[in-house]
């Protein structure tokens, strides 16, 4: 009977059997491009790591040093510099041994210590959940990466070897690591242009998460490869023959998608395997950029191009620095033929990405510098994102959004090219230009035509943003923006706005309670304020006011402490808090009773939300009446000039035009209908539930009187849920 394949044996099929490496193997690989003294430093780092991990074993039972040695070998095969390889050898010593960062810096260099510390996780004991620990560790690593991009290259090499040797872990942990790899690390590798690394990480993750689908797809690809051999050879010979006729030389390669890319394409487009593999793909590698465009002309002359399937990533590189010409042709027998044309430097860039930078001795290669420059821009965006993110979980969510949708290319009015993810709107474009432009945008022009801010952009469009100093972000924008930068900036602005409103409300609430002690804020001594701040462990008086406005602290308790714990309290209830409906996000109105000016009201202090205003007779709040310290007496300000929603029920006869007649009557009385629900009672009568905007109870009474004069209206009542 045939033995069932193990996880380890199947992983070996993807990347080959894991070699038993020695330090001599590593030094031999490094000696191909590094100086002798640098190889000696690598050997010294190995012996240091070996001593630090001496008592430790891997799950497989092997000495732990085999893992950092394999990570360093991956880095050496990528031709990374000697400090990066040393960091690969030492990457776990801070996290898993007693060696400190300072000791590493003293033994080797500050640069090596920075790389190792950047890759090291944070202590999980300081976090509530594993998710928080993972998010904060990733955030720490990405911030370290902004100082030295080699941090992420070491981390990717570490993750690659861990994925190659997942077989010894339990199923749950295997799946968690594979999922994290596909969600975060493979997209980061793609974002940095490291295609070879991305492909292997994706295929390894795919195999662990969906082993059966992986085996079936791998078998089908092997069968199809033999069946397609004849036509692949025919197309290759045709291309080679035409290039020789034109006096051009190039390296022609058949190209295959990795299994995970095939799988995701089948799932995304709901295609069968035969339809996905019906495309024949080739890569043509030439000496220089000029030859790329010449060969493009030859290919379009050999086979007819498919309209709208040509992309020039040389003139407009992808966000990760990738450059190539892409075209799709009608090949022999009508089969589609995908062709990528690129120079050797571009090919090196496409496979190694930012890691290709270290392959050039002087670092003067244009492609290498381009990838590095674009990676730096992305890292600056990450820094801005983390400053505006509320916590590590929000940062991780925004990072996932950023990694990594298909791009579109649009133009500013001056002709500058902006790269955005597919599905981006004019608001995303505004924030891509500058955070201040996004925060103050009011309208947009696409192709000189005014469009809504929610308009989705397409490649080739010219976009102009119109701003005013008085405008500010709207919470509704979060429903349609797609970029992490836009989402983070909008949330940050709204949070800051809410905090400012909370400070103003907190000041009003504290002032109201201080009146009960016959004093006010201006009369308080600085010394007493500082004592109370220390007592509640807050840094500033505004922070204390903010916590009152958000409902996190009792205004009465704070007032008592500020007047030296005085227990004599005047009649606070005689001083209601005035509201006008313009207080912003820290004062909201109960949807259960929809209070409007003129209704007797009181406010319930809700932690984190501020004050929720209810009618005095609201039944929803009956069970909360016992919490006397949570209630605030409130009254309406005398001059209110805004609409408040209120729901009315209109019982009508079923006649043609009844809804239009009612809508016209409401409009005559300077009100708008926000929502209508029609409930047909029987063939003769229906109930219309109308949500309308009114200024006050008097305004509502006028509307109801007008509606009662309509012949088709039987009765009207105000709804309270």
With vertex at residue 76, the alpha carbon angle to CA 75 and CA 81, rounded to the nearest 5 degrees, is 85
**How far is the C-alpha of 374 from the C-alpha of 353, rounded, in Å?**
11
Order of strands across the sheet with 610-615? 577-579, 631-636, 601-606, 610-615, 587-589
Residue 132 CA, chain-centre distance (Å), reads 16
Specify whether the backbone of 473 is left (phi greater than 0), alpha (psi in -120 to 50) or beta. Answer: beta
Q: Which of 10, 18, 95, 220 is catalytic?
A: 95
Residue 181 DSSP class: I
CB 614 within 8 A of CB 676: no
Read off the tokens for 54: 């001496």
Residue 422 DSSP class: T
Helix (H) or strand (E) holding 190: helix 186-191
Nearest residue to 581 (alpha-carbon basis) of 499, 506, 501: 501
**How far is the C-alpha of 649 from the C-alpha of 629, rounded, in Å?**
35
Q: What is the dihedral of CA 15, 16, 20, 24, to 10 degrees?
A: -70
Active site residue 128: no
**How far is the C-alpha of 487 from the C-alpha of 389, rounded, in Å?**
10
Indicate the SS3 state at residue 50.
helix
Read off the tokens for 586: 């820290």
- The residue behind tokens 């050997």 is 43
**How far is the C-alpha of 700 from the C-alpha of 709, rounded, in Å?**
15
**How far is the C-alpha of 427 from the C-alpha of 614, rounded, in Å?**
36
Q: What's the alpha-carbon Rg for the chain, to the nearest Å?
A: 34
**How far is the C-alpha of 143 from the C-alpha of 121, rounded, in Å?**
13
Quick count: other Cβ atoms within 10 Å of Cβ 347?
A: 21
Helices assigned H by DSSP within 617-710: 658-668, 697-708
Residue 57 DSSP class: B
**How far is the C-alpha of 502 from the C-alpha of 160, rounded, in Å?**
48
CB 90 within 8 A of CB 48: yes
CB 255 within 8 A of CB 341: no
CB 327 within 8 A of CB 299: yes
Read off the tokens for 444: 């947009």
Active site residue 402: no
CB 662 within 8 A of CB 652: yes
What b/e string do you get for 183-211 counting C-beta neighbours within 10 Å, with b at 16 or more?
ebbbbbbbbbbbbebbbbbbbbbbbbbee
Q: Which of 18, 96, 394, 643 is catalytic?
A: 96
Please give the full DSSP string across 230-293, using - where no structure is assigned: HHHHHHHHHHHHHHHHTT---EEEEE---HHHHHHHHHHHT--HHHHTT-EEEEEEESSHHHHH
List the catalytic residues. 95-96
């Amino acid at each position: 009977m045939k033995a069932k394949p193990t996880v380890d044996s199947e992983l070996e099929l993807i990347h080959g059997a894991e070699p038993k490496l020695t330090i001599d193997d590593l030094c031999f690989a490094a000696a191909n491009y590094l100086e002798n003294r640098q190889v000696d430093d690598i050997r010294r780092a190995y012996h240091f790591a070996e001593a630090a991990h001496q008592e430790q074993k891997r799950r497989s039972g092997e000495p732990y040093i085999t893992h950092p040695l394999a990570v360093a070998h991956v880095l050496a095969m990528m031709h990374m510099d000697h400090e990066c390889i040393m960091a690969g050898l030492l990457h776990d010593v801070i996290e898993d041994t007693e060696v400190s960062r300072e000791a590493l810096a003293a033994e080797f260099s500050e640069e090596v210590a920075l790389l190792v510390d950047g890759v090291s996780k944070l202590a999980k004991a300081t976090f509530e959940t594993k998710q928080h620990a993972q998010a904060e560790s990733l955030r720490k690593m990405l911030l370290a990466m902004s100082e030295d991009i080699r941090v992420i290259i070491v981390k990717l090499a570490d993750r690659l070897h861990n994925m190659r040797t997942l077989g010894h872990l339990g199923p749950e942990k295997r799946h968690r690591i594979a999922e994290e790899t596909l969600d975060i690390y493979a997209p980061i590798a793609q974002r940095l242009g490291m295609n070879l690394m991305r492909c292997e990480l994706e295929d390894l993750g795919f195999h662990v998460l969906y082993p059966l689908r992986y085996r079936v797809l791998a078998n089908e690809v092997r069968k199809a490869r033999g069946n397609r051999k004849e036509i692949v050879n025919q197309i290759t010979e045709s291309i080679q023959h035409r290039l020789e006729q034109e006096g051009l030389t190039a390296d022609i390669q058949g190209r295959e998608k990795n299994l995970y890319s095939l799988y995701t394409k089948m799932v995304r487009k709901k295609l069968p395997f035969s339809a996905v593999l019906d495309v024949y793909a080739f890569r043509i590698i030439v000496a220089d950029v000029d030859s790329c465009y010449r060969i493009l002309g030859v290919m379009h002359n050999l086979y007819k191009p498919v309209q709208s399937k040509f992309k020039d990533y040389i003139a407009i590189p992808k966000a990760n620095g990738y450059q190539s010409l892409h075209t799709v042709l009608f090949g022999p027998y009508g089969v589609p033929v995908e062709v990528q044309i690129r120079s050797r430097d571009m090919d090196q860039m496409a496979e190694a990405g930012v890691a290709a930078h270290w392959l050039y001795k002087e670092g003067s290669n244009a492609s290498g510098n381009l990838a590095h420059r674009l990676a730096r821009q992305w890292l600056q965006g990450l820094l801005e994102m983390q400053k505006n993110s509320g916590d590590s979980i929000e940062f991780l969510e925004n990072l996932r959004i950023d990694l990594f949708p298909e791009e579109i290319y649009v133009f500013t009015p001056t002709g500058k090219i902006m790269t955005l993810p597919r599905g981006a709107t004019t608001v995303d474009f505004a924030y891509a230009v500058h955070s201040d432009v996004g925060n103050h945008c009011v309208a947009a022009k696409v192709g000189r035509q005014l469009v809504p801010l929610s308009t989705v952009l397409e490649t080739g469009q010219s976009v102009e943003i119109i701003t005013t100093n008085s405008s500010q972000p709207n919470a509704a924008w979060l429903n349609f923006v797609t970029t992490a930068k836009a989402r983070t900036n909008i949330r940050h602005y709204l949070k800051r706005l809410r905090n400012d409103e909370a400070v103003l409300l907190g000041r009003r609430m504290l002032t109201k309670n201080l009146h009960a002690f016959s004093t006010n804020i201006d009369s308080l001594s600085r010394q007493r304020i500082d004592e109370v701040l220390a007592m509640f462990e807050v840094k500033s008086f505004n922070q204390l006011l903010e916590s009152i406005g958000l409902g996190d602290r009792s205004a009465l308790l704070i007032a008592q402490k500020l007047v030296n714990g005085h227990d004599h309290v005047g009649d606070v209830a005689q001083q209601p808090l005035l509201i006008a409906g313009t207080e912003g996000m820290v004062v909201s109105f109960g949807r259960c009773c929809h209070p409007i000016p003129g209704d007797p009201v009181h406010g319930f202090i809700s932690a984190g939300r501020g004050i929720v205003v209810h009618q005095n007779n609201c039944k929803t709040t009956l069970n909360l009446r016992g919490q006397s310290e949570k209630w605030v007496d409130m009254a309406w300000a005398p001059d209110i000039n805004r609409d408040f929603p209120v729901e009315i029920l209109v019982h009508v006869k079923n006649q043609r035009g009844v809804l239009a007649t009612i809508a016209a009557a409401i409009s005559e009385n300077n009100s708008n209908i926000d929502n209508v629900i029609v409930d047909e009672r029987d063939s003769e009568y229906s109930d219309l539930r109308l949500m309308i905007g009114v200024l006050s109870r008097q305004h509502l009474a006028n509307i109801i009187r007008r509606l009662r004069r309509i012949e088709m209206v039987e009765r009207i009542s105000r709804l309270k849920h």
